[in-house]
Amino acid sequence: DATDATAQPSGWLAGLAETFEARRRDLNALDQRAGDGDIGTNLSSGLQAALLRSAGPDADLAADLSAVAGAFLDDVGGSSGPLFGLVFSAVADAVAGPDADDAGQADDAAAVVVGLRDGLEAVARVGGAAPGDRTLLDALAPATEGSRLDRHAVAAAIAGARATSDLVARRGRASYLGDRALGFPDPGAVAVAVVLAALLERLEG
Ligand code: ADP
Ligand code: MG
Ligand code: MG
């Protein structure tokens, strides 16, 4: 029973939840500069909810990503719940799709990038932002330039997240407070880079 709270989640999902719990305060502090200081709590609580939906310790990547997507879309509020939910959902679909091959690391890495592109389009459509607006898209877009999720893609996401320090927000809550966050990165972009680094670990594991 995937909703049995006593069931073991996958180790990767548990690790991701731990990573975001450890970053909760820092992400909240970044969001506090120009927003309402809750993104770390939103993401961490979403991953705790995902653990309860985990298909178990042997769950494949698509199942883990679906658990996260469902939890974010159903249980997490704010902007990050639905927007990260869309991204996780798109990547889950791409990894589970007919072209996905569980045995081939290279194929999963390619499917992840296809999913990230779909997720980027969905977030841009729903949220109306484009790269350069100081949102999570500034980490997501550079990660989709290659054909696979590899260390170059993750490095591009990290660089994209860092570069949001120099951007003034044009979308989301942070856009109401002008340049108060200049010099600090957008927390949604930082969170995307953290997720992609964890995905790469899973693909290489
Ligand atoms: P809220 O502002 O509702 O409290 P969160 O704090 O959970 O939402 O998430 C804020 C993050 O969501 C921002 O750092 C930004 O990366 C992302 N974000 C906000 N609005 C948009 C949007 N329209 N498009 C893409 N990302 C967005
Ligand atoms: Mg917030
Ligand atoms: Mg909020």
**Cα distance between residue 148 and residue 114, in whole Å:** 8
Q: Which pLDDT score is estimated for 183?
A: 92
Q: Which pLDDT score is estimated for 7?
A: 66
Tens-place pLDDT, residues 115-170: 999 999 999 999 999 999 999 999 999 999 999 999 999 999 999 999 999 998 88
Domain that holds residue 173: 11-204
Q: Could you tell me if residue 92 is inside a domain?
A: yes
The ligand 1 atom nearest the CA atom of 35: 2
pTM assigned to the model: 0.93
Is residue 149 a contact partner of residue 199, using CB atoms and an 8 Å limit? yes
Compute, in angstroms, the gap from residue 59 CA to the centroid of ligand 3: 31
Instruction: Count CB atoms within 10 A of the CB of residue 57.
Output: 13
Q: Could you tell me if residue 3 is inside a domain?
A: no
The ligand 1 atom nearest the CA atom of 191: 16
Tens-place pLDDT, residues 165-197: 999 888 787 787 767 888 999 999 999 999 999
Which residue, by CA, sits nearest to atom 19 of ligand 1?
172
Pocket test for ligand 1, best of 25, 80, 134, 175 (most atoms within 8 A of CB): 80
Q: Could you tell me if residue 124 is inside a domain?
A: yes
Tokens for 79, please give them.
């902007």
Quick one: which ligand is closest to 43's CA?
A: 1
Q: Could you tell me if residue 1 is inside a domain?
A: no
Over 80: is that where the pLDDT of 86 sits? yes
Angle at CA 90, nearest 5°, toward 88 and 95?
95
User: Above 0.85 for ipTM, yes or no?
Assistant: yes
CATH of the domain at 127: 1.25.40.340
CA distances from 169 to 113, 133, 139, 189, 195 (A): 26, 5, 14, 12, 22
Q: Could you tell me if residue 64 is inside a domain?
A: yes
Quick one: which ligand is closest to 138's CA?
A: 1
Which residue, by CA, sits nearest to atom 3 of ligand 1?
78
Q: Could you tell me if residue 154 is inside a domain?
A: yes
Buried b / exposed e along 79-100 (16+ C-beta atoms within 10 A): bbbbbbbbbbbbbbbbbbeeeb
- Band (6; pLDDT cuts 50, 70, 90): low
Count of the separate structural domains present in the chain: 1
- Band (67; pLDDT cuts 50, 70, 90): very high
Compute, in angstroms, the gap from residue 84 CA to the centroid of ligand 2: 13
Q: Could you tell me if residue 87 is inside a domain?
A: yes
Q: Could you tell me if residue 4 is inside a domain?
A: no
